[in-house]
Structure 1
């Protein structure tokens, strides 16, 4: 019966509920300590896990799968998201050559140039090309495939209980959390924290949000009383750092510095800013 529910982002297909808890909880506890706030028992924290929905199923060994490359970036959504990330990476990293009017045209060669540029950026350092393409596909699957979307949302609904006060979400998980809270105004959740969120990316993310009938993207999510959004200036995924123009002035927007791992969830969680937001969300000081 958890008071805090955590929702992970993309690239977690080889993880699990217990692994998520083992990494999130210590960082979360450190954030509370940095804020001088009361600790939380680890049994009060649960992690929604949906990464397995994106894991490639096992098969009989035959011919090895070819590595993913530019040709596997399939549709407008994937290529447009890739170009948006390239533009933001170039803005925050002087070593990344920015796209120009010619390279923004959606062509196979442009996709390859974008992948090459991101591979050289600080933000995506160490991320294999195959992993980057798979991440694009996970975002598209959640936002564009109703079956995947509904399965992910079901995992959230199974985890949130009548005692849940606070939802902490990271990356794509912030999209999942926003939609879940918007769809369930009857929940007792009063606080939402979004970390490294892509919610503000127009057309690709914001305008695709699924909200209840009679509402639209940007409406306040369900029973939430307070919402804190935290971003690192160098976090390419959190392309729009300030969510207030889209979701209203009630969103508290903060910037932190996570060093070389700008998008790392544990570096977000262990900040004093996240700790204070969690303490406020739990009604503790």
Structure 2
């Protein structure tokens, strides 16, 4: 088993564990090297991808639940519309020169199909989705909803993480929806030897749509600390639309343990996993979770 397990994010239903590993492992190793040019001595074999994307791959018939890809002309699930509008509002805040503002008062009436179409068109102007079509975005929304609302899907996704974590695993990295999966996996398995959680572009802090649907559920509006991990680093680009709540410490800190929130600059792909992994900040966070003998000599036991 690998020392580092990476849980991928949304939109990977047409790939596979080895396909993702071929891109994720080099990017992660580049980030570690950027943080510590002299070590540690890690290789691709020390990294494993917990792959669940195939669970969202549509079958070759419209008669199968969950497939094929959504048609933007069809009515949308209310959950999808609410999350879509939240992303629109965040994109307009981040890029007011490119994305028109959301002017509708969502508390006064239910979202309409026309409003959902306006949101799709508005997000198409953002850098986040400039190269993506409506069907891709709707598929992304559906994956988030299905994981959080369908127990059988959640259980099957969780099983892929459990199968990847072994007695040697010390760091769990979760990107996008994968950060939600990783968080819940650690909360459900306090017996795992994982010492550190690293979340990238995480939607964990979004109230109602994500935070209030977590397992375990929040208490008094605050999320629970995930299992027995010793450190949690959350990395986010300030222009990331998916990570609506950029800092998780105010939501998940408890009396003795604290999330280390770090802002990174991922350039024109604010949410991309490869851009996250190659950052020196991410490499430092991953390295800090490794056993002492595997860390660079200049990294103290308590991390940085």
1:123 deviates by 1.1
1:59 deviates by 4.0
Distance in 1, Cα, partners of 2:259 & 2:268: 27
Structure 2 counterpart of 1:265: 273
Bigger mean CA offset, 209-218 vs 155-164: 209-218
Distance in 2, Cα, partners of 1:189 & 1:34: 23
Distance in 1, Cα, partners of 2:21 & 2:258: 30
Task: Give the secondary structure class of the aligned counterpart of 1:6.
Answer: strand
The counterpart of 1:140, out of the listed 117, 142, 145, is 145
The counterpart of 1:99, out of the listed 87, 90, 102, is 102
1:103 deviates by 6.8
Q: Does 1:198 pair with 2:199?
A: no
Q: Does 1:73 pair with 2:81?
A: no
Bigger mean CA offset, 198-207 vs 105-114: 105-114
Structure 1 counterpart of 2:52: 50
Task: Give the secondary structure class of the aligned counterpart of 1:194.
Answer: strand
Aligned ranges 1:170-209 → 2 under 5 Å: 170-209=175-214
Structure 2 counterpart of 1:279: 287
Task: Give the secondary structure class of the aligned counterpart of 2:223.
Answer: coil
Distance in 2, Cα, partners of 1:107 & 1:26: 44
Task: Give the secondary structure class of the aligned counterpart of 2:202.
Answer: coil
- Give the TM-score of the pair, scaled to structure 1: 0.93
1:267 deviates by 0.4
**Change over 3 Å in CA distance of 1:49–1:238 after alignment to 2:** same
Deviations 1:218-261 (A, max 9, x none): 11111210000000000100111110111016100000111110
Structure 1 counterpart of 2:230: 225
Q: Is the 8 A contact 1:29 1:39 kept in 2?
A: no
- Give the TM-score of the pair, scaled to structure 2: 0.88
Task: Give the secondary structure class of the aligned counterpart of 2:289.
Answer: helix
Bigger mean CA offset, 15-24 vs 215-224: 215-224
Bigger mean CA offset, 147-156 vs 241-250: 241-250
Deviations 1:115-144 (A, max 9, x none): 110111111111111110111000000000
Task: Give the secondary structure class of the aligned counterpart of 2:232.
Answer: strand
Distance in 2, Cα, partners of 1:178 & 1:23: 23
Q: Is the 8 A contact 2:211 2:218 kept in 1?
A: no
Q: Is the 8 A contact 2:84 2:119 kept in 1?
A: yes
Distance in 2, Cα, partners of 1:115 & 1:212: 30
**Change over 3 Å in CA distance of 1:216–1:182 after alignment to 2:** farther
1:89 deviates by 0.5
Distance in 2, Cα, partners of 1:131 & 1:52: 16
Kindly report the root-mean-square deviation, in angstroms, between the aligned alpha carbons of the 2 structures: 2.1
1:162 deviates by 1.2
Q: Is the 8 A contact 1:77 1:204 kept in 2?
A: yes
Q: Is the 8 A contact 1:182 1:212 kept in 2?
A: no
Deviations 1:37-87 (A, max 9, x none): 413121111100000011011249xxxx8971153422x211110010000
Where structure 2 has 5 or more consecutive residues not aligned to the other structure, the ranges are 63-67, 297-304
Distance in 1, Cα, partners of 2:271 & 2:157: 22
**Change over 3 Å in CA distance of 1:204–1:230 after alignment to 2:** same
